[in-house]
Each structure stands twice: as structure tokens, then as C-alpha cells.
Structure 1
Amino acid sequence: MSTTTTIIDGRPALQFERHLKHGREKVWLAVTDPRHLSQWYPFRVTQLEPRAGGRIAFDDGEGTVYTATITHFDPPRLFAFDEHDPDGKEREFDDHLRIELRDEGAGCLLVFTHIMADPSTADSASGGWQTCLDELEAQLETAG
């Protein structure tokens, strides 16, 4: 497992790499199926249209719905989306999340990238994503 802070397209980004013992197809299901994604992602997924241009809706459980637009959907390799501000405020950029799966022996390498709209959130986001990715790994283990 490694984490790096970098600049992508002039914006601050966190990038996490996880070496998983599970194949891309199994991990793909865990990161794109709303039922599975809801188990490790910070918010419950209430809608996911599995295609580039599709919409995702997340419920934070406290009355706020976050929306996202899928920018890349290339099974079982690349899933990326832009998260929009839940208050509808105009921001210069949306948060961009990218999950890339690469074959690696019998398993795969998961590369999770978060390009941030607000760089002041980097430290808290880093810890939060570490926890989420730990939970993803745990879910993959219990799924057999």
C-alpha cells in the first residue's frame, strides 16, 4: 500500500495504490455495484447509471444528497467520476475520483486517485480514504 500527494492538471491530488489478491472482475464489482460500493464508500449509493455520462447519487444519511457524473466507465479497468458540490454552489472544479484496476499476477493493483477541489481538505481526505480502502479490502475478503 502506498499513498502519494501530487499535482494533476494543476490541482492537488491524493493517489493510493493497493495490491489486492483478488482479480479485476471481483474488485470491479466491489467498486461499481451500488450495493457493494455503499459498503465501503463514505456515502450510500442510491443511484448509479453505469456508463460515461451517467449519474451517481450518494446519500450521507443526514439529509444531504451528493451527485456525481461518471466521466469514464471501462469495465473492468477504469471507473471515474466528478463529485458535485451538494449545495449547488459554483466551484471552479469538482472533486474528481478515479479508480483504475491493473492486472497483477493472480490479483490486481488498485490505483485510487482523488483530485481535490479544495486542497485544504487533503489531510482529512487522506485519512478518510485510507479507512475506506481498508474497508474495501475487508469486504473483498468476506465476499470470498
Structure 2
Amino acid sequence: MNTEPMVTRTLADGQPALWFEMRFDASMQVMWKHLTDPAKLKYWFPCELDILPRVGATVTFKVHRERPVEGTVLEAAKPRLLAYTWDEEILRWALEDDDGGSLLTLTNTVREGQDIARSAAGWHLTLMGLDDYLNERPLGQNPALWDEYVARYEEQFAD
């Protein structure tokens, strides 16, 4: 399945947020492994991520040549829900059974003033990369598409 995520600008607990929904041809259990196993995350997540999916556990984000950033697991209910902080943002991953596959909903609560179009483009390409990885295709995180997606979301989110 080579679909794109549906992306909406919204509010989460009164804060600006992006809401992504995408169907995958993998079970919730397989998706959970791809959300929590550093050996799988390294292929599709935007940075190196070390996570123990337990409420209160520390999450470590490592970006090449930068100091690691730590977050905290806020919610964890295998294999349906995982939420954690990343700097000033919150990522909330929810999974549902969907006709032999799963429906992933990502809510990205962003900080005030953040360039929401760039965030939307980044997660859009990241989720498509996850789909490519799950389906053993070359990763479709083509940097040449970056400007195209940023422009798309600037137009979509224009006030």
C-alpha cells in the first residue's frame, strides 16, 4: 500500500497540533515493534531514539553531532498507545485494528510559533518512509520532495 497520510491542523489540550492518520498493511503488534524497538526505529524515525515504553521512562533522542535530548513517556498501553515528550513537543501514537492491517494516528503537539508546515512535511515524509520500510521498498524519504511538501502544507494551513 503506497498511500499518503491524511494531515490536519488541530488543537490538542488547547495547544496547536498536527494530526496524521495513515493505514498500514501491518498488524498493531508489528506496528508497536516499529514504534518502540530502536533497531527498527533507526530505519524510519527522524533521529536515533532510545525508548522503554513505560509511563515515566526516559526517552533519548540523538541527532548526529548534537547533544542528546531527553523526553518522558507519558502514556504506554501495548499495542495501542504510546505518547512521549520530545523537547517542547508531544508525540502521541495511537493504533487501531483495521481490516487485517492497522490505522495509525499520530498527534504532534507543537510549540507556539513553530513552523507547522515544515513539521507537517517532515512527519509526512517520515510516515511514508515507515510504510516503505514495512513493505521492504527503498525508503521514499526523498529530500527532493521536501520543498514540495512544505509548500503544500503552507497553502493548506494558510489562515
Do the two structures share a fold, i.e. TM-score over 0.5?
A: yes
CA distance in 2, matches of 1:50, 1:11: 24
Aligned to 2:15: 11
| Matched residue type, 2:104 | L
Matches within 5 A, 1:106-125: 106-125=100-119
CA RMSD of superposed structures (Å): 1.4
Deviations 1:87-134 (CA, angstroms, capped at 9, x unpaired): xxxxxxx21100000011100100011001134321100000011101
| Matched residue type, 2:10 | T
> After the TM superposition, which parts of structure 1 deviate over 4 Å for at least 4 consecutive aligned residues?
none
Matches within 5 A, 1:40-79: 40-45=44-49, 47-79=50-82
State the 1:68 CA deviation: 1.0
Identity level (%): 29
Aligned length: 133
CA distance in 1, matches of 2:121, 2:90: 17
- Which range moves more in the overlay, 32-41 or 129-138? 32-41
Larger fraction in strand: 1
- Which range moves more in the overlay, 31-40 or 73-82? 31-40
Equivalent residues of 2:36, 2:52 under 8 A apart: no
Equivalent residues of 1:80, 1:96 under 8 A apart: yes
Aligned to 2:86: 83
| Matched residue type, 1:99 | W
CA distance in 1, matches of 2:22, 2:116: 19
Structure 2 SS opposite 1:142: coil
CA distance in 2, matches of 1:113, 1:129: 10
Aligned to 1:139: 133
Structure 1 SS opposite 2:115: helix
Equivalent residues of 2:26, 2:101 under 8 A apart: yes
Aligned to 2:150: none
TM-score by length of 1: 0.87
Equivalent in 81, 91, 95 of residue 89 of structure 2: 95
Aligned to 2:40: 36
Unpaired runs of 5+ residues, structure 2, are: 138-159
Equivalent residues of 1:12, 1:119 under 8 A apart: no
